[in-house]
Structure 1
Amino acid sequence: MSTDELSLRLQVVTEELAVADDELAAQQREIDELIAREVDTRRTASAVVRSVPVPVLVTDAAGAIIEANLAAATLFGVPAARLVRKPVQALVPAGARPIVRDLVSGARNVDSTGATLEVTPRAGLPRTVRVVITTGARWLDSRPVLTWVLEDVTLPLSDDDADPAVLQALATLAALPVGDLSRHQLLTRLAGLAAGAVPGASWSSVVLGDPTEPTELAADSEEAQRIDGAQWRSGQGPAVAAHREGVPVRSTDLRQDGRWPVLAGPAGQTPVRSALAVPIRAQDPTVVPAVRGVLTVYGPEPGAFETARHVDRVLVFAEAASALLHDLDRIAELRATAENLTVAMRSRAGIEQAKGLVAGWLECSVEEAFQVLTHLSQHRNVKLRDLAALAVADPSRHDLRPVLAGALDRVRAQRDAAHEGSSS
Structure 2
Amino acid sequence: MSAERTTSTADDQLSLQLDVVTQELAVADDELAAQRREIDDLVARELDARGTVSAITRSVPVPVLVTDAAGAVVEANVAASTLFGVPAGRLLRKPVQAFVDPGARGAVRDLVSRAATTGSATGTLTLAPRGAPARAVRVVLTAGGHRPDGRTSLSWVFAHDAPADETALQALAGLTTLGVGEATVHDLLTRIAALATGAVTGGSWCSVVLGDPADPDELAADSEQAQRMDGAQWRLRQGPAFTAHADDAPVVVPRLREDPRWPDLAALVPDLPARSALAVPIRAQDRARGVLTVYGRDEDAFASETQLDHALVFSDAAAAVLHDLQRVEELRSTAENLRIAMSSRATIEQAKGLVAGWLGCTVDEAFAALSRLSMDRNVKLRDLAALAVADPSRHDLQPLLAETWRRLHGDRQRSSS
Same fold, TM-score > 0.5, yes or no: yes
Q: Are 1:144 and 2:152 counterparts?
A: yes
Equivalence for 1:402:
399
Secondary structure of the structure 2 residue equivalent to 1:204: strand
C-alpha distance in 2 between matches for 1:308 and 1:170: 17
- Return closer, same or farther for 1:367/1:139 CA change in 2, 3 Å cut-off: same
- Return closer, same or farther for 1:10/1:259 CA change in 2, 3 Å cut-off: same
Q: Are 1:45 and 2:53 counterparts?
A: yes
Q: Please give the TM-score of this superposition, normalised by the length of structure 1.
A: 0.89
Whichever residue aligns with residue 56 of structure 1, its letter is V
C-alpha distance in 1 between matches for 2:131 and 2:87: 13
Deviation, structure 1 residue 306: 2.7
Deviation, structure 1 residue 102: 2.2
Equivalence for 2:278:
276
Deviation, structure 1 residue 383: 2.6
Does structure 1 conserve the Cα–Cα contact (< 8 Å) formed by 2:245 and 2:290?
yes
- Return closer, same or farther for 1:112/1:87 CA change in 2, 3 Å cut-off: same
Whichever residue aligns with residue 192 of structure 1, its letter is A
C-alpha distance in 2 between matches for 1:19 and 1:107: 52
Whichever residue aligns with residue 113 of structure 1, its letter is A
C-alpha distance in 1 between matches for 2:392 and 2:268: 69
Deviation, structure 1 residue 412: 3.1
Deviation, structure 1 residue 246: 0.7
Equivalence for 1:116:
124
Equivalence for 1:318:
315
Give per-residue Cα distances to partners, 1:333-374, cap 9 Å, x unaligned: 222212211121111111111111111111112122122222
Whichever residue aligns with residue 139 of structure 2, its letter is V
More deviation in 33-42 or 124-133? 33-42
Deviation, structure 1 residue 414: 4.6
Whichever residue aligns with residue 173 of structure 2, its letter is A
Equivalence for 1:165:
167
Equivalence for 1:335:
332
More deviation in 270-279 or 249-258? 249-258
Whichever residue aligns with residue 301 of structure 1, its letter is D
Q: Are 1:88 and 2:99 counterparts?
A: no
Return the match for 1:67 from 71, 75, 100.
75
Deviation, structure 1 residue 27: 3.1
More deviation in 161-170 or 301-310? 301-310
Alignment size in residue pairs:
409
Q: Are 1:128 and 2:130 counterparts?
A: no
Counting only pairs closer than 5 Å after superposition, residues 183-262 of structure 1 correspond to structure 2 as 183-262=185-264
User: What is the CA RMSD across the aligned residues, in angstroms?
Assistant: 2.2
C-alpha distance in 2 between matches for 1:391 and 1:366: 15
Q: Are 1:385 and 2:387 counterparts?
A: no
Secondary structure of the structure 1 residue equivalent to 2:294: strand
- Return closer, same or farther for 1:274/1:146 CA change in 2, 3 Å cut-off: same
C-alpha distance in 2 between matches for 1:64 and 1:381: 62
Does structure 2 conserve the Cα–Cα contact (< 8 Å) formed by 1:138 and 1:177?
no
Whichever residue aligns with residue 302 of structure 1, its letter is E
Whichever residue aligns with residue 138 of structure 1, its letter is H
Does structure 1 conserve the Cα–Cα contact (< 8 Å) formed by 2:138 and 2:164?
no
Equivalence for 1:365:
362
More deviation in 297-306 or 321-330? 321-330
C-alpha distance in 1 between matches for 2:386 and 2:102: 68
C-alpha distance in 2 between matches for 1:262 and 1:312: 29
Whichever residue aligns with residue 292 of structure 1, its letter is R
Equivalence for 2:4:
none
Does structure 1 conserve the Cα–Cα contact (< 8 Å) formed by 2:62 and 2:79?
yes
Percent of residue pairs bearing the same amino acid type: 62
